[in-house]
Amino acid sequence: MRNLGWLRVPFIFTYAFLYIPIAVLVVMSFNASKSPFVWTGFSTQWYTALFNNELIRQGFINTMIVAVGATILATILGTLLAIGVSRYFRSAIVEAYSLAPAIIPDLVLAIGLLAFFALVGVTLSLFSVLLAHVVFGMAFVAAVVIARIGQTDSSLEEASRDLGAGVVTTFRKITLPSLAPAIIAGALLVFTLSLDEFVIAYFTNGPTTPTLPIVIYSMVRFGVTPEINALAALLLLVSFTIVISAQRITRLTDAV
Amino acid sequence: MTLDSTNAPLLRVSSVSKAYGDVVALDDVNIEIQQNEFFALLGPSGCGKTTLLRSIAGFEDPDAGAITILGAGSGAGEGEQIDLLSLPPNKRPVNLMFQSYALFPHMNVRKNIAYGLEREGLGKDEIAERVNEVLITTGLTDKADVRPAQLSGGQRQRVALARAIVKRPRLLLLDEPLSALDRKVRAEMQIELKRLQHEVGITFVVVTHDQEEAMSMADRIAVMHEGRVQQIADPVTLYSQPANVFVADFIGTGSLLRGIVANAVLLLRPESVHISADLAGAQLQGEVVETHFFGGSSTTSVRVAEMETLIVASHPGAPKFAVGERVGISWNADDAILLEDQP
């Protein structure tokens, strides 16, 4: 690292501010005591308890259904949106509007979607949460893919046509592979965002199918238990793994 | 190279025009290119040469005119003119080598070269054989399994060339093929391109803004300016008999003099200008303002009173006059080129 001089001080403080609470949470998830604030010894009992908690298990399954479904749909639609916007419009305004769902406050999006679902008569369920997550997920995928398209040489597709490939073959053999790193990174991003999304899920979900963040919220209302700490530590592990792999994938292929 | 003038031209560009809004890119362009010719489209940037090349390849759609190519091989289609403009780029018997080379970054050299043959639906063995053949021709055999990112500029250019010629097109279009290379590699590739063209027997059309490049490689050159073809001729004719002031100015060096002959511009190439101490017997008199010595030869620039343009003379050996000396300028009437004065 370059010598930061006095800038080192705020840098260390902000890093500590960011990661000390997370470190405490992870440490406490291995605490033997039932109190989340007093350390009495090492134990993995809360992880065991977590796996035996029916409410959390159901919440986890619901969340996975939403996250996987939303990721698949948002990745396909977001990629098409990105290609359409950068190829056929070349307008900064159209591009900005297509990325808006990623920037609009969650609350606004949540209320809007709730009103929309009521209007068209969609029963609130896991499916409506999934659709809602596709809306903002699509915008995130599009943002990443549009950036990638801006970096790729547009004559690649022309070269493919010139060498005898039709439109479909060119898309399959040249366009998609050259965008693949961005598409994968976008998909992983949507997956992590959907995994812990609370506001929109809270508004657009039915009463019988809570997702994991909603389950956690209702449990925390009666106090933080070490079980919640264990769950949060696991979620942290999943998010970190995904974010790091997304970064590696984009960096690896950028070097080529 | 033999150009059989009794044969029909390979490519015929007839009255092609193209405008982008108010900007005219091509204005009634007519060009005929013969089989096995090395043809250059030469002009400053924005003259329409790239638009013409892309129209032939199928990436631009002219507003008016026709582009046809002579049908290939024997049998029914032989000797027939095929309308190129009605075909999509992937159905045209021409290939384009892009200025950026446009190599597919996710494929190695062999895959890049095989791509066009795979699209033709050829068998695996035939593809492998033809790819190996062209790898040898272009000297890329030991780079076959490497990705484009790991190649030098000159090597990338070879891959782009190999990928195009492996298709055995009737016509190969090259968009500024040498512009991305540094000076030394460029000189090598000029010779290389010329050799390859002979070896594979494909008609080449090169777009370039570099007149030396065009002059040294091409059999014939079309000089373009503001969307119009100014002159089509072989390099020697372009140099010694330019059709107008633009061509005279763009090709080679020389002094364009107004006011010596009424209503005309006189072009004096440096090698036709003689300077001497004999003031009385000279056609013009002036003062030496600049001399340059290039080792084997030198140039002397002379200012003639009341004349904007300097007259430049070149001669073997060291400069014979010093700056400030008064000299006489003379030339053979046969060496002077008279051009119509254009607005």
**Tens of pLDDT, residues B221-236:** 999 999 999 999 999 9
Partners of B103 on chain A (C-beta within 8 Å) are 159
- Is B127 touching A (CB cutoff 8 A)? no
> Is residue A28 situated within a structural domain?
no
The answer as to whether A44 is a domain residue is no
Element at B198 (helix H, strand E): helix B183-200
Residues forming CATH 3.40.50.300 domain(s) in chain B:
11-244
Superfamily name with CATH number, domain B253-340: Nucleic acid-binding proteins (2.40.50.140)
Assess if residue A220 is contained within a domain. Answer: yes
Note whether residue A6 is domain-resident: no
CA distances from A101 to A97, A114, A125, B68, B259 (A): 8, 15, 21, 50, 70
> Could you report the predicted ipTM of this complex, rounded to two decimals?
0.83
**CATH assignment of B11-244, given 3.90.1150.10, 1.10.3720.10, 3.40.50.300, 3.30.530.20?**
3.40.50.300
Centre a 10 Å sphere on the Cβ of residue A144 and count the other Cβ atoms it contains. Answer: 24
Q: In the sheet that B64-70 helps form, which strands lie side by side, from edge to edge?
A: B23-33, B11-20, B64-70, B81-83
- What's the total number of domains in chain A? 1
Of B96, B100, B147, the CB nearest to A162: B96
CA distance, residue B341 to nearest chain A CA (Å): 42
Among candidates B59, B102, B163 on the partner chain, residue whose Cβ is nearest the Cβ of A153: B102
User: Tens-of-pLDDT digits for all 256 residues of chain A?
Assistant: 556 677 788 888 999 999 998 898 888 888 888 776 778 888 888 888 888 888 889 999 999 999 999 999 999 999 999 988 888 777 778 888 878 888 889 999 999 999 999 999 888 889 999 999 999 999 999 999 998 888 888 899 999 999 999 999 999 999 999 898 899 989 998 999 999 899 999 999 888 889 999 988 888 887 777 888 888 888 889 888 888 887 787 665 554 4
Mutate to test the interface with B, among A157, A161, A162 (most CBs of B within 10 A): A162
**Residue A186 sits in a domain of what CATH number?**
1.10.3720.10
Residue found by looking up tokens 């690649």 in the block: A156
| CATH 2.40.50.140 domain extents, chain B | 253-340
Query: Which residue's structure tokens are 């010093």?
Result: B322
Which positions ≥6 away from B319 have C-beta within 8 Å?
B291, B292, B293, B298, B300
Cα–Cα distances in angstroms (integers) from residue A189 to residues A51, A110, A183, A245, in the given order: 26, 20, 10, 10
Residue A10 lies in a domain: no
Handedness of CA B320, B323, B325, B327 (dihedral sign): positive
Identity of the residue in B103, B119, B164 whose CB atom sits nearest the CB atom of A165: B119
Q: Extract the tokens encoding B303.
A: 């200012």
Asked if the Cβ–Cβ distance from A162 to B147 is below 8 Å, we say no
Considering only the beta carbons, identify the residue of A153, A162, A174 that sits closest to B95.
Answer: A162
Classify residue A23: in a domain, yes or no: no
Question: B131 has which bridge partners?
Answer: none
Cβ pair B90:A256 closer than 8 A: no
Please give the angle made by the CA atoms of B215, B216 and B221, to the nearest 5 degrees: 35
Residue A201's domain spans which residues? 54-254
Hey, is the C-beta of B146 within 8 angstroms of any chain A C-beta? no
